[in-house]
Amino acid sequence: MAKSNIPKIIQVQKPAPSLDHFQKSLFKEDPSKVFKKILWAVGIFVALLLVTYFIRQARGKAVLAFQAQLSALRIEALGTEFEPKKGEALTQSLARHLPQAEALLSQVPSSQRNGLINLINNWRLVLSLPPLADTPSSLQTWERIQQANQALLLGQPQEAQAFLKPLESEADTPSSWAQAYWEIQLMIDQAQGDAVSARKHLDLYHQAFPEGNEVLKKLRRSIL
């Protein structure tokens, strides 16, 4: 008798259970066990929601606490709106409070870091100190802003504008130097008595940063 040439198929894995089979096996299970599994899943989901909520709350409180601390330091260093420090008193005050501001870098919330670096470098500009920066490109940017500020102090607004010009295309994106850029730009407009350019630059600034800034608001009132 001739042997069959048809190869044998060896099944090494059971067929996957159908949905109908799964549903039947589920209904056969003890209802109390099914209920416990559902409660367990719901409990895990609720726990994850609570953890997420408390993390956000903690971060929000940390930001508020940091903002309050920085605001108090700013008032100590600069004075109040009604009694601002000026001249030599301002320079001495900034030199005294700058180390405290720089010490905050180790504890600043990530969302507040750019603002803190901007404040520190503004103070360092006044004190003629080199700027702080996270990257080489950021350092070059701050050096340009510092050069523009020095030219402005020497009564050379056109030279100051030339230093700022290469930064214009990136000044509408969040960064540690954007606020300082716009402050210097508006001071250049003020020095040149150019209200048209000031309005244009203010519009560009508000489009990029809708929350605004008190320093820029004061500059706006002095120009327009």
**pLDDT for 173-191, tens place per residue?**
888 888 889 889 988 998 8
In a domain, 42, yes or no: yes
In a domain, 11, yes or no: no
- Given a cut of 80, whether residue 45 has pLDDT beyond it is no
Q: Are 89 and 161 part of one and the same domain?
A: no
Q: Are 138 and 224 part of one and the same domain?
A: yes
**Range of weakest confidence among 8-12, 130-134, 143-147, 163-167:** 8-12
In a domain, 45, yes or no: yes
Per-residue pLDDT band at 95 (split at 50, 70, 90): very high
Q: Are 78 and 134 part of one and the same domain?
A: no
pLDDT of residue 15: 54
Q: Are 85 and 166 part of one and the same domain?
A: no
pLDDT of residue 211: 65
Last residue of a domain, one of 87, 115, 143: 115
Q: Are 111 and 136 part of one and the same domain?
A: no
In a domain, 14, yes or no: no
Mean residue pLDDT of the chain comes to: 79
Q: Are 58 and 143 part of one and the same domain?
A: no
Is the distance from CB of 116 to CB of 104 less than 8 angstroms? yes
Q: Are 157 and 201 part of one and the same domain?
A: yes
Q: Are 79 and 161 part of one and the same domain?
A: no
Last residue of a domain, one of 115, 141, 162: 115
Q: Are 149 and 175 part of one and the same domain?
A: yes
pTM: 0.60
**How many separate domains does the chain show?**
2
Q: Which domain holds residue 164?
A: 130-224
User: How much is the average pLDDT of 31-47?
Assistant: 70
Q: Are 148 and 69 part of one and the same domain?
A: no
Q: Are 37 and 104 part of one and the same domain?
A: yes
Using one digit for the tens of pLDDT, what is the confidence trace for 105-149?
A: 888 888 888 888 888 988 888 888 888 877 788 888 998 998 998
Q: How many C-beta atoms surround the C-beta of residue 156 within 10 A? A: 16
- Cα 29 to Cα 19, 41, 81, distances in angstroms: 16, 17, 73
- Given a cut of 90, whether residue 66 has pLDDT beyond it is no
User: How much is the average pLDDT of 9-23?
Assistant: 55
Q: Are 146 and 213 part of one and the same domain?
A: yes
Last residue of a domain, one of 50, 82, 115: 115
In a domain, 67, yes or no: yes
> Kindly report the CA angle at 70 between 206 and 126, in degrees rounded to 5?
75
User: How much is the average pLDDT of 60-75?
Assistant: 84
User: How much is the average pLDDT of 82-101?
Assistant: 89
In a domain, 224, yes or no: yes
> Kindly report the CA angle at 94 between 88 and 95, in degrees rounded to 5?
90
pLDDT of residue 214: 59
In a domain, 154, yes or no: yes
- Given a cut of 60, whether residue 97 has pLDDT beyond it is yes
Higher pLDDT, 161 or 111: 161
In a domain, 26, yes or no: no
> Kindly report the CA angle at 81 between 79 and 86, in degrees rounded to 5?
50
- Given a cut of 60, whether residue 87 has pLDDT beyond it is yes
